[in-house]
Structure 1
Amino acid sequence: MNIENRLPSDVHGVRTLIANVVLIGEPGGREWTLIDAGVAGCADVIVEAAAARFGDAPPGAIVLTHGHFDHVGSLRPLLARWRVPVYAHELELPYLTGQADYPEADPDVGGGLMARISPLYPHKGIDISGEVRPLPEDGTVPTLPDWRWVHTPGHTEGHISLFRERDRTVVAGDAFITVKQTSAFAVLLQEEEIHGPPPYFTFDWRHAAESVRKLEALKPAAAITGHGKPMAGEALTEGLGELARSFEELAVPRH
């Protein structure tokens, strides 16, 4: 399912049930990069979207904002098809090499059905030791020379976002999102409103607040996040500014 596009022509989002993946590359070209791998069972959806834009060209790489189940769920079948390198932050590697599991979800934060059923969401790490590599320490992205990665921890220790200076576009992962992810009704309708990271899987709220403020300081003109529709212009500027100013009141669970 294609997401309503408010993004530059070479940035394209595809929704996989509850989470977005991002395809970066000019339509009709042969060089492109996949950001995240969506929910399990959605490999065909991602492959079809890629084929519509890039023909049979595989991505140069898959870059992960982080390793939660809804961002790596279709990774294995995609790697079986494409055989490309995967890049992630060094601090995320233990969860991608079979060395560590994420903490279990906390159903008591945020309210709403999505939060209440969060203990059912997978929290185990995966092992793609042979494919995953650490992102370069200098902030560059190997297959995306115009982009840089920004460390935005809080939701996970090694969470990253991507930023392109020339058009101030952000791929935010779950550092902030544009839908109330705790509410099944809001997720179904894809109601647009800026929120902090999904609270049931966020375990370091101090760093999460710092990460939102780091992204807001970049003054993005357009953003696509791990959940919700892309946003741009005044709505993005005002919403992200308010979240950055009042993160503790707006995003941090009461307990």
Structure 2
Amino acid sequence: MQVRHISPNIYKLSIWIGLPISLWAVKEEDGLTLVDTGIKQMGKGILKEIDRLKLGPLQRIVLTHGHPDHTGAIERLRADRNIPVYAHPLEIPYMEGEAPYPDKKKASVLVRPGLVQSLEKADGELSGIGSLKPFLTPGHTPGHLVFYHQEDDVLLGGDLFTSSRKGKLRRPIPLFTANMPLAVASGSIVKLLQPELLSLCHGTDIRQPHKQYDIYAEKWEKK
């Protein structure tokens, strides 16, 4: 497993299986927030790296969305502790197998029903989690989230984009994206937040992604 210290408080943990699969460990005052969990086989390695980095105890897991390369290691990571897991409420029925994702014919139980808690507050706003602020960016999946770390000025983008090796924005993987036009439009969050760094699950991290967004949108919104 490759570990990169991408900002003062954030580590990116990755493996390569035909494409990179990444998640993030975020240092908090009370320990660690994990953003996504990768595939099932990554669980042991994640725990090993958390211990090696001495980031403190794992306190919470937040999910960008419910696809198995983002949720696969949840049970392994929670084996010894009742660690809370959070996601957008729009996403939970799909990951629990109540309904198939919009681009699929069959529902699959990707996370044990009742395990994941909603990030939505009573007033409909999304709760901040640790040092992270969530933003709904639908399209790849109905409840896809990105998480902004204001202090480090880093946006953890999940599958909102992919990228080229030269650091160019690319659209999310079409085969697994339910609504590509909506996903492309959701990418405008980078213009709103203008993060110094955009970190992605499948691809190279990108500096100042807002400077590329207009060209990206013009290219892909017509595809």
TM range (shorter): 0.7 to 0.9
| Deviation sequence 1:54-73 (CA, Å, 0-9, x none) | 36x53111100001111112
Whether the 8 Å CA contact 1:174–1:226 is kept in 2: the answer is yes
Aligned pair 1:10/2:9, yes or no?
A: yes
- The residue number in structure 2 matching 1:95 is 94
Moved over 4 A (4+): none
Closer/same/farther in 2, CA of residues 8 and 127 from structure 1, 3 Å limit? closer
Aligned equivalents of 1:62, 1:136: Cα separation in 2: 15
Answer 1 or 2: which has greater strand percent: 2
Aligned pair 1:130/2:114, yes or no?
A: yes
2:147 maps to a residue whose letter is L
| Deviation sequence 1:9-68 (CA, Å, 0-9, x none) | 210000033310100006xx751111101012111111111111236x531111000011
2:217 maps to a residue whose letter is F
Aligned equivalents of 2:162, 2:216: Cα separation in 1: 15
- The residue number in structure 2 matching 1:139 is 126
Closer/same/farther in 2, CA of residues 246 and 194 from structure 1, 3 Å limit? closer
- The residue number in structure 1 matching 2:213 is 243
Answer 1 or 2: which has greater helix percent: 1
- The residue number in structure 2 matching 1:42 is 42
- The residue number in structure 2 matching 1:219 is 194
Closer/same/farther in 2, CA of residues 81 and 123 from structure 1, 3 Å limit? farther
SS of corresponding position for 2:91: helix
Whether the 8 Å CA contact 2:99–2:107 is kept in 1: the answer is no
SS of corresponding position for 1:129: coil
2:113 maps to a residue whose letter is S
Whether the 8 Å CA contact 1:155–1:203 is kept in 2: the answer is yes
Closer/same/farther in 2, CA of residues 130 and 203 from structure 1, 3 Å limit? closer
Aligned equivalents of 1:240, 1:22: Cα separation in 2: 21
Aligned equivalents of 2:62, 2:128: Cα separation in 1: 8
Question: Which protein has greater RCO, CA pairs closer than 8 Å, 6+ apart?
Answer: 1
Aligned pair 1:193/2:168, yes or no?
A: yes
2:211 maps to a residue whose letter is G
Structure 1 regions of 5+ residues with no counterpart?
106-121, 180-189
Aligned equivalents of 1:242, 1:170: Cα separation in 2: 15
Aligned pair 1:167/2:157, yes or no?
A: no
2:21 aligned to which of 19, 22, 26: 19
- The residue number in structure 2 matching 1:186 is none
Aligned equivalents of 2:67, 2:109: Cα separation in 1: 8
Structure 2 regions of 5+ residues with no counterpart?
none
Percent identity for Structure 1 against Structure 2: 27
Whether the 8 Å CA contact 1:84–1:131 is kept in 2: the answer is no
Compute the displacement of 1:156 (Å): 0.4
Compute the displacement of 1:172 (Å): 0.6
1:25 maps to a residue whose letter is K
- The residue number in structure 2 matching 1:79 is 78
Closer/same/farther in 2, CA of residues 149 and 101 from structure 1, 3 Å limit? same
Q: Normalization by structure 2: what TM-score? A: 0.85
Q: Normalization by structure 1: what TM-score? A: 0.75
Closer/same/farther in 2, CA of residues 79 and 16 from structure 1, 3 Å limit? farther
Aligned equivalents of 1:191, 1:15: Cα separation in 2: 18
1:44 maps to a residue whose letter is K
